[in-house]
A = this chain, B = another copy of it.
Amino acid sequence: MTPQRVTLITLGVADLDRARTFYTDLGWIPVEEQPGVVFYQLDGMALGLFGAEALAEDQGRPGAELGTGAMTLAQNFPDRESVDDAFEMALTAGAEPLKTPEEVFWGGYSGYFADPDGHVWELAHNPFWTLDDTGRLTIPTES
């Protein structure tokens, strides 16, 4: 059985310096940098920035295109104000606004932006999901 887990997210980027600067502007601190690749330590997992062409090649899919729209990275926050603050910070860092945070149909509050390579991030407050004091998310189990 495959572990129900993601341990590394790799974003294919067109310009590593540009991408690194964007995440630095968000306050992210790399834990490891090597020629052509930057890694960030997340909570029990990692996120990497890697040249898009090199990534496509590494995947066995040369020529795969940048950006997606069919996959989202999200950050959940304890309240709406924190969502707004993070959204503003992303725009200041040069993100493309896709949807300004607003009340959404499922009862939460959510906005979207695209990073310089078109990777889509959602910033959300979900009153039905639990965040602990350190920001770890737990989905309540259905009874």
Say yes or no: A70 contacts B65, CB within 8 Å. yes
Shortest CB-to-CB span from A105 to chain B, Å, is 9
Query: How many copies of the shown chain assemble into the complex?
Result: 2
Is A80 interfacial (CB-CB < 8 Å)?
Answer: no
Contacts of A65 in B (CB 8 A): 68-70
- Given A41-B139, A70-B117, residue A29 in contact with residue B8 (CB < 8 A): no
Rounded to whole angstroms, the CA-CA distance of A60 and B20 in the bound complex is: 25
Rounded to whole angstroms, the CA-CA distance of A76 and B69 in the bound complex is: 25
In this complex, the member of A6, A76, A110 whose beta carbon has the largest number of chain B beta carbons within 10 angstroms is A6
Is A142 interfacial (CB-CB < 8 Å)?
Answer: yes
8 Å CB contact of A136 from B44, B69, B89: B44
